[in-house]
A and B are shown apart, each in its own frame.
Chain A
Amino acid sequence: MRLAPSTEQLAFAAALHGLLAAADLPKVSTAWADGDPGAGRALWSALAGAGVTGLLVPERWGGQDAGPDDLIVACEELGHHAVPGPLAESIAAVPALLTAAATRPGPREWLAALAEGRLTASLVAPPWLPLAADGDSADLILVADGAEIRQGHARSVLPSLNPARRLSEVTPGELIASGQDSRRAMELGALACSAQLLGAARALLERSVDHAKQRAQFGRPIGSFQAVRHQLADVAVAIEFAQPLLYAAAVALRSGPGPLDVSAAKVTCGEAARLAARVALQVHGAVGYTREHGLWRWLGLVRVLDLAWGTPSWHRARILTGLAGAGTSLPDGGFD
């Protein structure tokens, strides 16, 4: 049982943090928002070098063959830095879908290209993902509809609430695989998204705490006022109690399908992130509401990711259905 990161995972997260801190993310995100993915693609290559893009790619196609616990460590850090792009798709769901279809050369080639950072992938999978995130710049779009997986082709770009996210309607094309169970791949995507949300929540709290220490009003740092510090404390509590559910979901996915653990993690990480976003904006005040200030990168990310990969209501309904079916608390497992 591991409900907290291991020493190796903490070192992996720290290395990733270093890489991302040096990557000038505000510039990358601004360019991405303006429709110029060049800097983002360069960062994607760097992430491949750090072993991120091939985490779920099997070793024989050049990946790490890592588990869901390593996946959440990486994705939490990506969310922490509000890295733009179809991350849960490219790093989690698509490699899992392609691995199941790797009897054919096309998926094998794509897996290798993902691991090397030459390819980004987006995904349409109703009802969770009705549109392809960043489909206009993705090299590969998959459409997972029922048991069929097809390659998709992006149509017009729709604007998103999150400036650094571009959504495309997709026309399904060539059949890649059929009769495939894509559920596990989708759970891994939802897990990765949950980790991004938790990482974003952490970043929002850190930035808000820094701001509250520096910004003075009435002759004192605003972080000394209870009205401010109590809001920040509530964010810290939400993060503290979301993390164990995220790790529990990773443990569950290691050995089984784990849908209810994933749902619990998704709902809770989303709640923590949304609270962190509201409080961050409130604590920053007017300056947080500007595009000059960097807060927008997390605010937009959090609101859209909370609704992607299954809305909170969808996940709560799935939990209730599972509980009704089991008719018990399932004290040690049995979620699977």
Chain B
Amino acid sequence: MNLDLDEAAVRFRDEVRDWLAANVPAGPLPGVDTTAGDLAHRSWERRLAAAGLAAVGWPAEYGGRAAPPLHTLLFDEEYHAAGAPVRIGQNGLFLLAPTLLAHGTAEQCARILPPMARAEQVWAQAWSEPDAGSDLAALRSRARRVDGGWSLSGQKTWSSRAVVADRAFGLFRSAPGERRHRGLTYLMFDLRAPGVTVRPVRQLDGAAGFAEIFLDDVFVPDADVIGEPGDGWRVAMSTAAHERGLSLRGPGRFTAAADRLVQLWLHPRPAPRAVSKPPKQPWEPAEQDRHGDRVAGAWIRARAYRMAAYASLERPVPPSATKLFWSELDVLLHETALDMLGPLAETDPEWTAGYLFSLAGPIYAGTNEIQRDTLAQRVLGLPREPR
């Protein structure tokens, strides 16, 4: 179908496409959670920000262009189609920034968003704790009232990007008498502050993609509370909706992967040399016939996510449904590629890296079990399960 883009949208898309074609690094940058990769990705983000492309949807005074949501979608598609680097600032850009714009003060936005856009400050998230995963309201890290602010103590875990990040945001228990969702405060803190210890945790791919954060009397000024003290759960849930929804995972990642999948189907990788080619068995189907149905099925699903993203400009899509769909889609795309590559799959760095990353999707940003429960309750109106 033709998306009927208006003139401004076409102009914007062409600008992004041209800029990316001229600027995207030729080869892959070093891993984002290494020292070299940290530098390289920050430098990339600076160029993106200088071109006014770091966060086009933000207000202009914070480094954006006040562009309509359609432009954010177009940017996302172009960005992934161009094979541009991972956004090192994504926790800040896609999770904290929408929260600040909704709940933060003008002072906070002015102080935090511009350096975030230039990746001078990279943000980590600090939600989960050893005993508070899916049951986030069981969190125990404390914020104790002190003169001029708060003192944080406790332990956070599975903090994405915390190894290289400068600052982090998360929820803390600020009213000792209150339980569960009450008495929580949304705070931002400095990862280099006295009392903070970050212990890298290596992920399936061997890189330190997340970390544990130990907090021992870490001072945070009042200026770094988002929303009202004690109102943190409500503020955090708005971030969570962003995390699950289209803000974190635009369709570009998946349509780009689906296109690569189709290319792989059209042009199968050659077998290694020095191996004699075994005769084809009479019962063996042609290589392409074997996988065509699945490749098309995966491509259609990526297309569905893309169309849903465009439809969401006219009609809201529940974030829980969005998260379930994109996380399962990502696994499907990569599983299909691996199956098509066959015994050569394990040596393919591009697809195996994407595959490992896709396996995390159904777990992070609220496990898919939690999403199904949320959807069943909030969208379908089914009774709560006993807890």
Q: Which of B134-142, B340-348, B369-377 contacts A (4 or more CB under 8 A)?
A: B369-377
Residues of A within 8 A of B377 (CB): 229
> Are B385 and A226 closer than 8 Å at their CB atoms?
yes
Interface residues of A in 188-211 (CB under 8 A from B): 205, 209
Given contacts A234-B372, A236-B321, contact A329 B382 (CB under 8 A): no
Cα–Cα, bound, A153→B313 (Å)? 49
Given contacts A213-B383, A316-B297, A317-B296, contact A226 B262 (CB under 8 A): no
Residues of B within 8 A of A313 (CB): 293
Cα–Cα, bound, A241→B318 (Å)? 11
Cα–Cα, bound, A329→B5 (Å)? 17
Cα–Cα, bound, A224→B311 (Å)? 31
> Are B380 and A264 closer than 8 Å at their CB atoms?
no
> Are A241 and B325 closer than 8 Å at their CB atoms?
yes
Given contacts A240-B321, A251-B1, contact A4 B379 (CB under 8 A): no
Residues of B within 8 A of A244 (CB): 304, 307-308, 310-311
B255 contacts the other chain (CB 8 A): yes
Residues of B within 8 A of A316 (CB): 292-293, 296-297, 300
Q: Which residue on chain A has the smallest CB distance to residue B326? A: A241
Cα–Cα, bound, A245→B1 (Å)? 10
> Are B295 and A320 closer than 8 Å at their CB atoms?
yes
> Are B376 and A229 closer than 8 Å at their CB atoms?
yes
Number of interface residues of B (CB under 8 A): 53
> Are A333 and B295 closer than 8 Å at their CB atoms?
no
What's the nearest-Cβ distance from chain A to residue B340, in Å? Answer: 13
A14 contacts the other chain (CB 8 A): no
Residues of B within 8 A of A261 (CB): 1
Contact of A241 (CB < 8 Å), options: B2, B255, B295, B304: B304
Cα–Cα, bound, A224→B98 (Å)? 33
Residues of B within 8 A of A331 (CB): 77, 81, 255
> Are B372 and A245 closer than 8 Å at their CB atoms?
no
Contact of A233 (CB < 8 Å), options: B3, B297, B324: B324
> Are A237 and B321 closer than 8 Å at their CB atoms?
yes
Residues of B within 8 A of A252 (CB): 1-2
Q: Which residue on chain B has the smallest CB distance to residue A205? A: B380
Contact of B304 (CB < 8 Å), options: A1, A221, A242, A329: A242
Q: Mark B281-314, 1 if CB is under 8 A from A, else 0.
A: 0000000000011011101110111011011011
Cα–Cα, bound, A279→B269 (Å)? 40
Q: Mark A216-240, 1 if CB is under 8 A from B, else 0.
A: 0000110111100110111011001
Residues of A within 8 A of B325 (CB): 237, 240-241
> Are A320 and B292 closer than 8 Å at their CB atoms?
yes
Q: Mark B1-23, 1 if CB is under 8 A from A, else 0.
A: 11111000000000000000000
Contact of A209 (CB < 8 Å), options: B5, B369, B381: B381
What's the nearest-Cβ distance from chain A to residue B226, in Å? Answer: 30
Q: Mark A1-29, 1 if CB is under 8 A from B, else 0.
A: 11110000000000000000000000000
Number of interface residues of A (CB under 8 A): 54
Interface residues of B in 211-258 (CB under 8 A from A): 255-256, 258
Given contacts A236-B375, A331-B77, A333-B3, contact A213 B300 (CB under 8 A): no
> Are A327 and B266 closer than 8 Å at their CB atoms?
yes
Cα–Cα, bound, A7→B42 (Å)? 46
A319 contacts the other chain (CB 8 A): yes
Cα–Cα, bound, A212→B255 (Å)? 36
> Are A3 and B385 closer than 8 Å at their CB atoms?
no
> Are A230 and B376 closer than 8 Å at their CB atoms?
yes
Given contacts A1-B310, A329-B81, A333-B2, contact A229 B300 (CB under 8 A): no
With A229-B380, A319-B299 given, can you name 19 additional A-B contacts, CB distance below 8 Å?
Answer: A209-B381, A230-B376, A236-B321, A237-B321, A240-B321, A241-B305, A241-B308, A241-B325, A243-B311, A248-B307, A248-B310, A251-B4, A252-B2, A264-B303, A313-B293, A316-B293, A323-B266, A323-B299, A329-B81
Ordered by A's residue number, 13 sampled pairs between the chains whose C-beta atoms are within 8 Å are A1-B310, A4-B314, A212-B382, A226-B372, A232-B380, A233-B372, A233-B375, A236-B321, A244-B310, A248-B310, A251-B4, A320-B262, A329-B255
